Structure 1
Amino acid sequence: MHQKRKGLVLDSNGLFLFYSFIITLVLIAVWVVWLWNDKTLRKKYPGAKFLSQDQINEFKECFSLYDKNHKGKIRAADLLAVMRCLGVSPTPAEAQRHLHLHKIERNAELDFSTFLNIMYRQMKQEEPEKEILTALAMIDREKRGLISAAELRAKLTRLGEKLSEEEVDDLLKEAKIGPNGTIKYEEFTRTICLPAVDY
């Protein structure tokens, strides 16, 4: 004797609705997990608050390559290499200054949160630096990396947001003016773009 099975029988419309419902639940679950991870990541790494999720992921991936012992830390000596791998261009002195600012010795280690803060600081420093370099390169007609201090003074006091003579004097104190009255503008730009140290 055959027993008839009792249960739900779905036609093609019913299957479509059922699968749509399942897909919707999965998408909601993925969104909730992403949102939770995003908030958790930002709580865990305070330096992340100014960075996009894509930037954090990229930084984490590169950081992990240098985290040889899988402790969530890199050697301070590797900081310059990791930063340059991520497209910023600190000098060795700038990398050392970042370490000093966070009270990290050259032979010590730094965690990912500290690294995010350092990367953010370096990126903010390099933004105006590029604009200033572009403007100064336009003055450098011979493309030697040098500009005349007198010409720079004239541009700063007559164009754009005009500076006073005193402001230009203060600015030029930061410049290493050569014996022929010229300034290496890349070095000068780096100096004036150093972020203020927070104490």
Structure 2
Amino acid sequence: MPSILAHELTCEQVQELKDAFNRYDLDSSGTLSATEMRLALISVGHEITEAELYDLIRTVTVGDGQELDLQHFMQMMAPRMADMDSDEALGRTFKLIDRDHDGFISGQDVRAIMLILGEVVTDEDIRDICRAVDMDGDGHISLRDFMSFMHSPI
């Protein structure tokens, strides 16, 4: 298949997507309807609303096309698969920073990682960093806060 993907997929990801496509091409038409596509997306770990699905379909189709062949399905899924891998890497990074494994990154954790990176920071710097990363403002840096911060535009 010619590579028109904006993001490179691993061989394992390509096979996972092919398997999902074939499993949910319920009428063996060589294309996925919106319903079949939603089932395929869920099977590879992407819960999606109907509105999100149609928005996603429009990223790879022209006009009112609502059925996708394998190539367009892979083109649509490549960025989502890359994001999924990115989230897994961020989760591992969070666990490394969370030295006491309590599910939160503390000011002490931030100070320790900054020292490892060779950065000398003041108490005020630590408070500023923690406030910036604590996206929900509850006083704790959770995994969700960390991921939201890391995915936010700079």
TM-score tier (shorter): 0.5 to 0.7
Correspondence for 1:65? 23
Q: Distance in 2 between matches of 1:191 and 1:103?
A: 28
- Give 1:103 deviation, angstroms: 6.9
What is the total number of aligned residue pairs between the two structures? 140
> Counting helix residues as a fraction of each chain, which structure ranks higher?
1
Corresponding residue number in structure 1 for 2:71: 113
Give 1:141's match in structure 2, choosing from 92, 95, 100: 100
1:116 shift after superposition = 0.9
Using the size of structure 1 for normalisation, the TM-score is 0.48
Question: Aligned letter for 1:59?
Answer: L
Structure-1 residue corresponding to 2:32? 74
RMSD of aligned C-alpha atoms? 4.2
Whole-angstrom distance in 1 between the partners of 2:41 and 2:73: 9
Aligned to 1:30: none
**Deviation string, structure 1 residues 113-167 (Cα, Å, up to 9, x no partner):** 2321233212322333323212322416253x3333x3465356443385x96xx
Residue 132 (structure 2) aligns with: 172
TM-score (norm 2): 0.58
Q: Write the distance in 1 (CA, Å) between the matches of 2:69 and 2:114.
A: 45
Within the alignment, does 1:99 sit opposite 2:56 as a pair?
A: yes
Q: Report the equivalent of 2:85.
A: 127
How far apart in 2 are the matches of 1:131 and 1:80?
25
Residue identity (%): 17
Question: How far 1:48 sits from its partner (Å)?
Answer: 9.2
Q: Is the 8 A contact 1:47 1:117 kept in 2?
A: yes
Paired position in structure 1 for 2:111:
154
Q: Which runs of 5+ in 2 are unaligned?
A: none
Aligned pair in 2 of structure 1 residues 71, 136: CA closer, same or farther (>3 Å)? same
**Secondary structure, in 3 states, of the residue corresponding to 1:183?**
coil
Q: Is the Cα–Cα contact under 8 Å of residues 47 and 114 in structure 1 kept in the other structure?
A: no
The letter for the 2-side match of 1:133 is G
For the pair shown, which has the larger CA radius of gyration, 1 or 2? 1
- Residue 4 of structure 2 corresponds to residue 46 of structure 1: yes
Moved more, 124-133 or 77-86: 77-86
**Which deviates the most, 114-123 or 54-63?**
54-63
